[in-house]
Amino acid sequence: MSTETENPFTEGTDDIERKRTIGRVFVGVCFGSAMVGVAALVILLADVIIEAWGWLTWDFLLYPPTQSPDNFLGGIRGAGIYPAIVGSIFLIALTAVFTLFLGVGAAIYLEEYAPENRLTSFIEANIANLAGVPSIVYGLLGLAVFVRGAQLGAVLLAGALTLTLLILPIVIVSTQEALRAVPDSQRNAAYGVGATQWQVTRDVVLPRALPGIMTGTILSLSRAIGETAPLIMVGAATTMLTAPDGLMSPFSAMPMQIFDWAARPQTEFHHAAAAGIVVLLTILLLMNLCAILIRNKYDPRS
Amino acid sequence: MSTETDAPDLSGTGGGLEERMNDFTRWIFLSCALVTVLTTIGIFAVLLFGSYGFFSDVSLVEYFTGTEWYPVAHEPSFGVLPLIWGTMVVTVGSALVAIPLGTATAIYLSEYADRRVRKTLKPTLEILAGIPTIVYGFFALSFVTPVIQRFFPETGTFNALSASIVVGIMIIPMVSSLSEDAMSSVPDELRNAAYGLGATKFEVSTSVVVPAALSGIIASYILALSRAIGETMIVALAMGNSPQITTNVLEEMQTMTAFMVDIAISDASAGSVGYQSLFAVGLTLFAMTLSLNLFSMWVKSRYREEYQ
């Protein structure tokens, strides 16, 4: 401390200078770290697009996969992802129907009907816990209950039910938020003229909350469409030569087909996997755009 | 709530029907909510029942202390430690990537970034969280592993390092967004008090904001670890399928989840011990993630600083 009394001014400026440098280095490190995430995203997308270049053709979208990588070469039709696309669309449509019914129903109960008792808080805590269960465990549940227990077999319906249970917690929470955004004054106005809880829910709350519900549900479905592990456990086919034609039809889905191609040693198949990923990401992007458009169109704040 | 049903019906649209409709819908919606409870019961029942079959053939001691895992071999051995080891390696490895990067990103977003930067940076990082894990698995296999091989030519096609790095990238957004939420909820009074004492921005960030938000930050780490433990497709594609205990991260290892995928796509017949091991491993995995999730909630509520 004796130096300070000898020359307080230079010591002071040195100290400030040192602190400034530390501050600048720290901001640099933090900004750099944030950029690592962005860079990873850019590299990932670039890698997939480069690998897919030239392989993503109309034929790829419209034809079934082939067994030999030779078929990928030349101008003759290559392997395609058609059955998996149809499988994924069926799967997501079914899952959408189930989750809309169950998720919105459960959220309405919790927000509009439920009394504040132990059962309600148990259900809420349980939903929070379910959201943290690994998706592969839901796959085991689907395998034991739907595929074997109900003897459905590894069919579309079993896959859709499994995905429904998987995304149900997210749909419920997002729907609850949408319902909560409807002001209580509107409910009370309806109660004031003698409406029942069901009438209030049906005629006042649901119409107002619908855009929010749709946005949350589409975002949850976009998570379901990329899920692979639960489908593997349920026993969905990695490769199907024909598209599914009914609820009880065996099926493949885009992530399953991508997994199959990516896991093969031949590099030709990796290009097919990359092309499949581009298709999957495009569909995800479109679903997210839909959700954003709905939110912007109906958001009262905008 | 009983007052509502007692209230006189003024709508004049056949009160009896509407009342009955009200009760009916209440039951329908309650059953929808109970599906989530049934799901939990189902998970416990399936895992416990499936494991019961397994543990009547294999002793708990062998399962938890054995160091060799060959459940479908001709002379099978059922020591789960190699799978737990594989899972631990990828969890620790991904934490080494995600925790420093995620925390620094959160500090940048919460303390330094101006509104315009935040508005583009946050959604960009959220895209990372929305990318399907199968895509990350492909990325590990087709990009990260070849890069590692350039530096360490002895690296195999399947290795723990590549999988750990990519799982780490996947959980960065989880750490960064949950930690940022915790930091943003630290009131400005605390920051201003520190500035008033002559603290620099660096000192405010590291000595005031981070300690004040610590419970939320730690909770985000634990949740991210739980996510890494349950992650499946990246490790199934990029880490390989040989269950072994080794400290060489350039070698193949197998996690619990990768083993489950391996068995599910193979033709292990239902009822065989190899097939039943699926449920024992599933139960082990579920127990680990559930306890971490509960621990995270506990940390968050136990050590939360209340600000008014």
Domain boundaries, chain B: 13-56, 70-302
Nearest to A123 among B10, B11, B36 (CB): B36
> Class of the B70-302 domain?
mainly alpha
**What's the rounded mean pLDDT across residues A190-210?**
91
Binned at pLDDT 50, 70 and 90, residue B275 comes out as confident
Domain A82-298 indexed as CATH 1.10.3720.10: yes
CB B140 within 8 A of CB A44: no
Cross-chain residue pair A33–B134, CB shorter than 8 Å = no
- Count CB neighbours of B68 within 10 A: 14
Distance from CA of A74 to the nearest CA of B (A): 23
Place of tokens 């004054």: A185
Return the residue in B11, B31, B32, B157 with the most chain A beta carbons within 10 A, the one to mutate for interface testing: B32
Q: Is A205 on the interface with B (CB under 8 A)?
A: no
Q: How far apart are CA A82 and CA A88, in angstroms?
A: 10
Q: Is A126 on the interface with B (CB under 8 A)?
A: yes
* Four-residue CA torsion sign, A143, A149, A152, A158: negative
**What's the rounded mean pLDDT across residues A253-257?**
94
Q: What is the largest CA-CA distance in chain A?
A: 90
Using alpha carbons only, give the angle B278, B295, A163 rounded to the nearest 5 degrees.
45
| pTM score of the predicted model | 0.90
Chain B residues within an 8 Å CB radius of A284: 130, 132
Nearest to B22 among A196, A222, A280 (CB): A196
Cross-chain residue pair B138–A103, CB shorter than 8 Å = no
Q: What is the ipTM of this complex?
A: 0.90
Q: Is the pLDDT of residue B288 over 80?
A: yes
> Nearest residue on chain A to B281, judged by CA atoms?
A137
**What's the rounded mean pLDDT across residues A256-264?**
92
Q: Is the pLDDT of residue B10 over 70?
A: no
Using alpha carbons only, give the angle A140, A146, A150 rounded to the nearest 5 degrees.
135
Q: Is A247 on the interface with B (CB under 8 A)?
A: no
* Four-residue CA torsion sign, B91, B94, B95, B96: positive
Q: How far apart are CA A82 and CA A75, in angstroms?
A: 18
pLDDT in tens, A56-93: 888 888 888 876 655 555 444 457 889 999 999 999 99
DSSP result, B181-220: HHHHTS-HHHHHHHHHTT--HHHHIIIIIHHHTHHHHHHH
Return the domain boundaries, chain A: 2-52, 82-298
Distance from CA of A75 to the nearest CA of B (A): 25
Q: How far apart are CA B62 and CA B66, in angstroms?
A: 5
